[in-house]
Chains A and B, each alone.
Chain A
Amino acid sequence: MRNRIFTLHYSLMLIPGIVLLVMFNVVPMFGIAMAFKDYLPAMGFWNSEWVGLDNFQFMFILPDSKQILFNTIYISVMKIIVHLVVPLIFAIMLYEMRIRFLKKTIQTIVYLPYFLSWVLFGGAILRVLATEGLVNQMLGWVGIDPVPFLSSNQLFPFVLVFTDIWKDFGFGSIIYFAALAGINSSLFEAAEIDGASRIQIIRYITFPSLVPTIMLLAALSLQNVLNAGFDQVYNLYNPGVYESGDIIDTYVYRAGLQQAQYSLATAIGLMKSVVSLVLIAISAWMVGRFANYRIF
């Protein structure tokens, strides 16, 4: 009897959250039907004509699609690799540095940019990398012509990757610090007694201890292959670099909300969601299988 009353109360606690999730996450899922319709706001959702897979067909013949898919994967894969490597190197460097108060200070400083929005950090980056910005001024001192970081299609993808790691490398190194703190210190003592050099200690003790963490992060980052970072790109790009910097999310935003191509944008968004779902499932499976890590 008491259990039944408890169950009732537990359900009562869940109801407000579930109602909100249904309203704002489940109801929009019915809107996915727009991807199979020719949605016109004047006709309304129910009366718009069904067109089957036309939107998807159109998507595949659209000349932009290939470029956007390429940009997305190119940028995100570069970001994933850089995000695995740079925080790792930084973590090992900081771990090796033995001046304690300096270590704390540096950690405090490098974590900060992660917590700023891309509007603010990106706004600062726009200043720094602009044609007459800080970096080009400094290049000018050594006689180098201004580099169009933000308007050159050759450079823009690399600018995205570089500024992304600029903002997040400190924060990304936290997980490596946790792993480093877990290394049994007797390993280091033994190595020192055996006369191992610092480089040898890093090579044979520090780095191997981090491999499981690296693998875990690599598996988890698989789900980001189609997420090249909307907030960042949106704040840094301009029509001049659409060719190299436009990603799926920014394209869907412009097509759907700015140009009112509702059905096409929904179709592209749906494709992305489905592929992402599959990637997340693979990544969760890999993480569970090889790292014995469960999300919940």
Chain B
Amino acid sequence: MITSIRRMTASDLMLAFVLCIIAFFSISPILHVLAVSLSERVPVTSGKVLFLPVGLTFYNYMVIWDDPKFYRALWVSVERVILGGVVNFLLTVLMAFPLSRDPKIYRPRNAVMWFLIFVMIFNAGIVPWYLTIMKYGLLDSIWALVLPGAVPIFSIILLVNFFRSLPKDLDEACHMDGAGPWYMLFKIYIPLSLPSLATVTLFSIVGHWNSFFDGLVLMNTASNWPLQAYIQSLTVNLNGVMMDEDQAKLMSQLSITTLNSAKMIVAMIPIVIIYPFLQKYLIGGILLGAVKE
């Protein structure tokens, strides 16, 4: 921020204009989908819809309102966000607290920390991952979407760093008053770190809402797909896939652009709703993590 007040020059206005264009450009694909979702089918297929709906209609939203498949997928997503969010939260605080102790007080601390780091940066690859989950009999169960990622190591490290930044006198005061570890965690540490906890919780909510791949791979029956996997199956890239004319016609009938657009917009709504919180906590939290110590 330049502190002295100067007059607006032509170059200032120019810069502002260019930046507005960039901002518009960055969300233009989404605006296009939004416009399509609010348009009638004919202007869409004839390519008349750009960023404003042509023949404004909420018909598409009415139709998906009655689509049981869409509902089912939406419900699976909501279910996994709630279950996954709760499990992630509990495991994050439960692991971060002991790991924020001094190694002199809690000896295994460093060993466990290295274990977490190792597990975070080395993975066995997708095939052993898949076969293991299959062996546990979790395929097609909502827990397959929750348990494999139940321990968010990155969030734990973030929270460990935050817990360690709290004053040491706190621990001593707790010791004096005879508070045990569980009391310290739930009555002292958690209330003191609500902004950090909001950050890691938003991380896991957005992560669970957005992930499509595990749903696609670990759910054998399409009715168990979460929303993102369901939409992925609708919007596959058909450009360049060899098809004869009949097949192409069939595909274009099956993938109804306006309806799919409405589904995509509905899938974006939760992100838009929590967006103010994302801006406040997540972006703030990332800066917190980036410039620590």
Contact = CB atoms under 8 A, between A and B. Distances in A.
A81 interface: no
Interface in A214-240: 230-231, 234-240
Contacts of A99: 12, 16
Contact of B3 (A34, A131, A189, A256): A189
Contacts of A207: none
Contacts of B113: 296
Contact of A116 (B30, B151, B286): B30
B128 A29 contact: yes
A169 B125 contact: no
A10 B121 contact: no
Contacts of A31: 124, 127-129, 131-132
Contacts of B240: 148, 150-151, 238-241
B257 interface: yes
A13 B125 contact: no
Given A32-B125, A273-B123, A124 B26 contact: no
Contacts, number: 292
Interface in B197-239: 206, 209-213, 217, 228-229, 231-232, 235-239
Nearest to A192: B4
A118 B113 CA distance: 32
Nearest to A103: B19
Given A93-B18, A96-B15, A110-B26, A272 B125 contact: yes
Contact of B94 (A14, A106, A240): A14
A175 B290 contact: yes
A154 interface: no
A240 B131 contact: no
A200 interface: no
Given A169-B26, A269-B126, A148 B151 contact: no
A21 interface: yes
Interface in B221-264: 228-229, 231-232, 235-242, 257, 260-261, 264
Interface stretch (A1-9, A60-68, A71-79): A1-9
B131 A262 contact: yes
Interface in B77-135: 91, 94-95, 97-99, 101, 105-108, 112-113, 115-117, 119, 121-133
Contacts of B160: 296
Contact of B148 (A24, A115, A126): A24
A16 B212 contact: no
Given A20-B91, A273-B124, A174 B129 contact: no
Nearest to A237: B237
B2 interface: yes
A69 interface: no
B185 A13 contact: yes
B268 interface: yes
Nearest to A45: B131
Given A20-B91, A123-B231, A131-B239, A269 B19 contact: no
A235 B237 contact: yes
Contact of B239 (A130, A175, A182, A294): A130
B291 interface: yes
B128 A13 contact: no
B32 A240 contact: no
Contact of B119 (A26, A30, A231): A26
A203 interface: no
B28 interface: yes
Contact of B23 (A20, A45, A110): A110
Nearest to B161: A296
A272 B125 CA distance: 9
A47 interface: no
A238 B136 CA distance: 33
B86 to A, nearest CB: 13
26 contacts: A7-B106, A10-B97, A13-B94, A13-B95, A13-B98, A13-B181, A14-B94, A14-B98, A14-B99, A16-B94, A17-B150, A18-B115, A29-B124, A32-B125, A93-B18, A128-B29, A178-B291, A185-B2, A188-B3, A198-B11, A230-B213, A239-B241, A257-B126, A257-B130, A273-B124, A280-B121
Given A24-B129, A234-B213, 18 more contacts: A6-B106, A14-B98, A20-B151, A21-B119, A23-B132, A24-B148, A32-B124, A93-B19, A108-B279, A111-B279, A124-B29, A127-B33, A166-B29, A235-B232, A239-B241, A252-B125, A256-B126, A296-B113
| Ranked 9 nearest A-B pairs via Cβ | A269-B125, A240-B240, A31-B128, A151-B240, A124-B29, A117-B210, A10-B98, A28-B128, A28-B124
